[in-house]
């Protein structure tokens, strides 16, 4: 299993993501700088980490979504390679139009930084197969722009297609229909505001995030 973490100027969860990937696969991921134009040959899992790429200039994720490496990420996604975007990575995926909707300033205007309960809505995806549908899990969030928005027709469509992976069990940031994580049409791209890589060790206070990596990386315990 060859994994890659895309690193932008201003990424700050890239090393946490790398630790999670290495812990599960036994092999360190390739750290791929945003100015690269190609992913390493044989990359079969891509992670877009959290952080504040390009200082959140223009809009969160907007500049990163137009960086050279994103063309290769989009090509890989189209071939079915799993792509996980966490927090700023989710913002990048929506800005790159790989996922529907947009992430706006939190409704309460506060930066929200705490562990929150999530409800697993779809337990059939490659990222969520280790969870049970309806199960409640605890994963930390840390964001200012996590307020998910899409028009009503888009929300109805993604809900109808089972593409809402996670919902906040309690309102966190004003997200439409409490959506915390969204899958693409083919189910191989997941964007989520909560940080599963921050819940992979008992010392983190919980390991609910580890199960996502175990499912996605095909090494179910």
Partner 1 sequence: MKVNVYVTLKPGVLDPQGKAIHHALEGLGFGGVADVRAGRFIELDVADGTSDADLDAMCAKLLANTVIENYRIERP
- The residues annotated as belonging to the active site are 87, 195, 197
**Does 171 engage in binding with partner 1 (CB under 8 A)?**
no
In the structure encoding, which two tokens stand for residue 217, read together?
């990386």
* Smallest separation (angstroms) from partner 1 to the CB of 125: 23
Q: Of 11-19, 26-34, 55-63, 213-221, which part binds partner 1 (CB under 8 A)? A: 55-63
Number of neighbours of residue 113 by Cβ within 10 angstroms: 10
Q: Measured from the CB atom, is 15 or 66 closer to partner 1? A: 66
Q: Which residue of 107, 133, 171, 219 would you call a contact of partner 1, by CB under 8 A?
A: 107
Number of residues forming the site for partner 1 (CB under 8 A):
19
**Does 94 engage in binding with partner 1 (CB under 8 A)?**
yes
* Smallest separation (angstroms) from partner 1 to the CB of 101: 6
Cβ atoms 4, 21 nearer than 8 A: no
Identify the helix (H) or strand (E) that includes residue 126. none
Cβ atoms 85, 48 nearer than 8 A: yes
Q: Measured from the CB atom, is 82 or 101 closer to partner 1? A: 101
Q: Distance between CA atoms of 45 and 51, rounded to whole angstroms?
A: 19
Q: Dump strand ranges (E) for the chain.
A: 3-7, 30-33, 45-48, 83-86, 102-104, 112-120, 136-143, 147-149, 164-168, 179-183, 189-192
**Does 101 engage in binding with partner 1 (CB under 8 A)?**
yes
Q: Distance between CA atoms of 130 and 215, rounded to whole angstroms?
A: 6
Q: C-alpha angle with apex 35: 31 to 39, nearest 5 degrees?
A: 50
**Does 174 engage in binding with partner 1 (CB under 8 A)?**
yes
Q: Measured from the CB atom, is 28 or 58 closer to partner 1? A: 58
**Does 74 engage in binding with partner 1 (CB under 8 A)?**
no
Q: Closest Cα to residue 86, out of 162, 5, 161?
A: 5
* Smallest separation (angstroms) from partner 1 to the CB of 123: 28
Letters for 7-46 (x = contact with partner 1 by CB under 8 A, - = none) are: ----------------------------------------
Q: Which residue of 13, 150, 164, 172 would you call a contact of partner 1, by CB under 8 A?
A: 150
């Amino acid at each position: 299993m060859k994994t890659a973490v895309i690193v932008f100027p201003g990424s700050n969860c890239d090393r946490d993501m790398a630790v999670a990937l290495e812990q599960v696969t036994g092999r360190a991921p390739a750290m791929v700088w945003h100015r690269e134009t190609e992913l390493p040959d044989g990359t079969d899992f891509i992670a877009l980490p959290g952080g504040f790429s390009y200082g959140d200039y223009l809009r969160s994720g907007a500049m990163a979504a137009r960086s050279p490496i994103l063309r290769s990420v989009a090509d890989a996604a189209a071939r079915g390679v799993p792509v996980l975007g966490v927090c700023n990575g989710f913002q990048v995926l929506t800005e790159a139009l790989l996922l529907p909707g947009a992430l706006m300033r939190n409704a309460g205007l506060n930066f929200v930084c705490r562990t929150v309960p999530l409800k697993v809505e779809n337990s059939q995806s490659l990222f969520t197969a280790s969870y049970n549908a309806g199960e409640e899990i605890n994963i930390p969030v840390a964001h200012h722009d996590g307020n998910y928005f899409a028009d009503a027709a888009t929300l109805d469509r993604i809900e109808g297609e089972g593409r809402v992976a996670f919902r906040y069990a309690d309102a966190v940031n004003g997200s439409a229909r409490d959506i915390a994580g969204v899958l693409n049409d083919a189910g191989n791209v997941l964007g989520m505001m909560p940080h599963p890589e921050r819940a992979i060790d008992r010392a983190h206070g919980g390991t609910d995030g580890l199960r996502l990596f175990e499912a996605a990386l095909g090494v179910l315990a």
